[in-house]
Chains A and B, each alone.
Chain A
Amino acid sequence: MLQQDSNDDTEDVALFDAEEETTNRPKKSKIRHPVASFFHLFFRVSAIIVYLLCELFSSSFIACMVTIILLLSCDFWAVKNVTGRLMVGLRWWNHIDEDGKSHWVFESRKASSQESKTVSEAESRIFWLGLIACPVLWVVFAFSALFSFRVKWLAVVVMGVVLQGANLYGYIRCKVGSRKNLTSMATSYLGKQFLRQTTGDGQPS
């Protein structure tokens, strides 16, 4: 019985590898920093949930507002200083030099052959999903607060848009980096898609 099971296992693995065409795909989809991934999403999503449900939970507008401000601040600090660096290897910051001029620096980690330094795909997906979806939601909330005349919430919503929008802008600039990187990224992505389509059509399903 056990031997049959192990035979089945090896057969499954072989099929899996043949379909994927690469052997290191399983390694890249591991989440290497579960705590960072959790907190990346936790603060953003809780801020949105508190905003939506505050009227149900507590009759105090002040308590909700302070809670949301606290969550937005923690989220800004965590995403800018911790999760971006651990999960996708990007960093953005401001530097004031000797003359008092301020420079904004956007850096991205160079791709290296070491296993421990490559970016995991699952983490990258989680990171960008959280980074893009939440500011969009806050912009939607801003319009809804404006048009439904719940203006007292506007201060908090604007703060949400500004803080999360700042992180989004910073990380997109890090990612885009130089013009050369953008075009090479685009061509390699399109190339991969094209290849996948042609080989996919060629193989019998």
Chain B
Amino acid sequence: MAEAAESPGDPGTATPRPLMRDLKAVGKKFMHVLYPRKSNTLLRDWDLWGPLILCVTLALMLQRGSVDSEKDGGPQFAEVFVIVWFGAVTITLNSKLLGGNISFFQSLCVLGYCILPLTVAMLVCRLVLLAELGPINFMVRLFVVIVMFAWSIVASTAFLADSQPPNRKALAVYPVFLFYFVISWMILTFTPQ
């Protein structure tokens, strides 16, 4: 994990890294995703804890099936994991092949953290689904998912676009669009049966 506060040298090899510093860094990055500004925080001090937390939360919320069914949502849990991580790795490889100058883990970090709006959308959808189903219910969910999807795209392109060569920006951005579209689709079509 990138450790901007670490400095090379002997004393550091004897002292353990404080946990609160890492937790605060994760929290700060969540804030940066919610209020995207031109800043380097996500890129400079990358870490993959936020994406892991978001991925597990999303996978847990996308569970279909009741508590007393035998085949509880195992495959769906692993499915979400695979889609998120495999998708993020593929986008990263794509951007590197297009000549982007961003490192592998930095790109994974940005893509993972920008799933936060969609996780919030999932939470809202699950709450909305507690009410009675119907066209209004669907319209509300559709609106929420579209807004959060746009938010994810804006946040991730704000961080990623600078690292691409200017004539390749669209080529690098459209897989991101696809990635968040697939996740939004999973969220929108979720019904707890």
Chain B residues closer than 8 Å to A61, beta-carbon distance: 72, 74, 77
- Known A82-B16, A91-B12, A102-B2; 10 more pairs at CB < 8 Å: A59-B72, A62-B60, A62-B74, A82-B17, A89-B14, A94-B1, A94-B105, A96-B103, A102-B105, A105-B8
Q: How far is the CB of B46 from chain A (nearest CB, A)?
A: 7
B53 nearest CB neighbor, chain A only: A73
Chain B residues closer than 8 Å to A155, beta-carbon distance: 78, 81-82
Q: Is B6 an interface residue (CB 8 A)?
A: yes
Which of A59, A102, A109 has the largest count of B CB atoms less than 10 A from its CB? A102
What is the size, in residues, of chain B's interface with A at 8 Å between Cβ atoms?
40
Can you show 25 pairs from A to B with CB atoms below 8 A apart? Answer: A59-B72, A69-B56, A77-B22, A81-B17, A82-B16, A85-B15, A85-B16, A86-B14, A89-B14, A91-B12, A93-B2, A93-B3, A94-B46, A94-B105, A96-B4, A96-B43, A96-B44, A96-B106, A102-B2, A108-B13, A109-B13, A109-B14, A117-B14, A155-B81, A155-B82
Chain A residues closer than 8 Å to B60, beta-carbon distance: 62, 66
**A93 and B6 contact, Cβ closer than 8 Å, known pairs A61-B74, A85-B13, A152-B75:** yes
Q: How far is the CB of A87 from chain B (nearest CB, A)?
A: 10
Proximity string of chain B (1-32) to chain A, C-beta cutoff 8 Å, 1 when within and 0 when not? 11110101110111111010010000000000
Q: How far is the CB of A33 from chain B (nearest CB, A)?
A: 10
**A94 and B2 contact, Cβ closer than 8 Å, known pairs A82-B17, A85-B14, A110-B10:** yes
Q: Is B137 an interface residue (CB 8 A)?
A: no
Q: Is B175 an interface residue (CB 8 A)?
A: no
Contact residues, A53-84 vs B (CB, 8 A): 59-62, 65-66, 69, 73, 77, 80-82
